[in-house]
Chain A
Amino acid sequence: MVRGLTLLFLCQLVGEAIVRGFDITFPGPVLGMALLLAGMAAFGRTGPALDDAADGILRNLSLLFVPAAVGVMQQMGLIAANWLAIAVAVVVSTVVTLIVTVFTFRGVARMQARMQARRRS
């Protein structure tokens, strides 16, 4: 567990250092994720310690959003002043994004299956 957590922190630290060092607007944790993925691809496996740490943290992902959610109380003024734009943008954008994503996924998967079937026949 501790070894796994150390590896996660280490990947994030290296990611943050590279992002800061090259002064690029890119999130350090995402670069850290890419580094960890590259590492697993290089070694060809994960370890039990890394599995434990990653599963433990991802199983309680909801918890990690609670402090940011409580931040709603601090942004009330700004949200109230722009409530219509924010409400419509969040609701419409989220619904449309869900629909566009799921139908693109299904559509392309079906197209791919048809092309593979044709190639086989």
Chain B
Amino acid sequence: MSDGGNIHRIWVYLAETPLLWLTATLVAYVVGDTISAACRRHPLANPVVIAAAILIAVLTLTGTRYQTYFEGAQFVHFLLGPATVALAVPLWRNRARVAANLVPMAAALLAGSLTAIGTAGAIGWALGAPPPVIASLVTKSTTAPIAMALAEGLGGLPALAAVLVVLTGVLGAVIVTPLMNALGVRDYAARGFAAGVASHGIGTARAFQVSEEAGVFAGVAMGLNGALTAAAFLILPLFF
């Protein structure tokens, strides 16, 4: 058999196991993270964007469907659930600082969470997006597993909701540092908290790159916003 035939045979075998795309996801992330570190964590060199761009290029070039890719990548995606549970740990560890800022946090959480839901829904509706797209838009500032579960319950599309969550997260992670500098806000607790409310885990990952304090408040904000958004959509239907 020719070498080309051998390579084809190996490809056919590998393409059918979860190992290939699981490994590809990890490799793409390591590349993205290395580039991000080399750019001294510049907001534009976002590791999620770089990794996703590499993977989309590879999937397109090899004619691989997303479903096939996800059979391998699901093991990484699955960890979003335990990661959400894990947020309880930094929350507990920083309970003294969190307790000292309880009132500003509660006010900022309520204002920010309702702003995120309200503006996304209103703009989507005003610009003529169909109801399933609007239902997938309103959960965009919560973390992926929460947004997907909520979008499904609201008649949205979980897969689209996950993508909008990522777009929101990446955008927030990219703009939070220049925006806060332009606004002259130097309080890293407030900056991190805003990043967590507006852009969940990806904003939180960015906040941890900037400062430990910002990261902690972002993580707390992300967890609280997930809980509040979920609770809001649980309670709101009772009034309509």
Contacts and interface: CB of A to CB of B under 8 A. Distances in A.
Interface of A: 5, 8-9, 11-12, 15, 24-30, 32-34, 36-37, 40-41, 46, 50-51, 53-55, 57-59, 61-75, 78-79, 82, 84-86, 88-102, 104-106, 108-109, 112
A33 B77 CA distance: 18
B43 interface: no
Interface string B149-190: 110010001011011111111111001100110010101011
Closest 5 CB pairs of A and B: A101-B112, A85-B127, A29-B84, A67-B73, A54-B89
B190 A67 contact: no
B129 A86 contact: yes
Given A30-B223, A37-B92, A74-B159, A25 B150 contact: yes
A58 B86 contact: yes
Contacts of B90: 54, 58
Q: How large is the interface on B (under 10, 10 to 19, 20 to 34, 35 or more residues)?
A: 35 or more
Given A25-B233, A65-B169, A92 B49 contact: no
A75 B149 CA distance: 18
Contact of A64 (B77, B167, B185): B77
B70 A67 contact: yes
A14 to B, nearest CB: 10
Nearest to A32: B85
A63 B51 CA distance: 9
B133 A90 contact: no
Contacts of B55: 66, 70
Given A105-B104, A105-B105, A37 B88 contact: yes
Contact of A30 (B144, B191, B230): B230
12 contacts: A33-B88, A57-B83, A61-B83, A62-B48, A62-B201, A65-B144, A66-B51, A66-B52, A85-B123, A108-B104, A109-B190, A112-B104
A17 to B, nearest CB: 13
B227 interface: yes
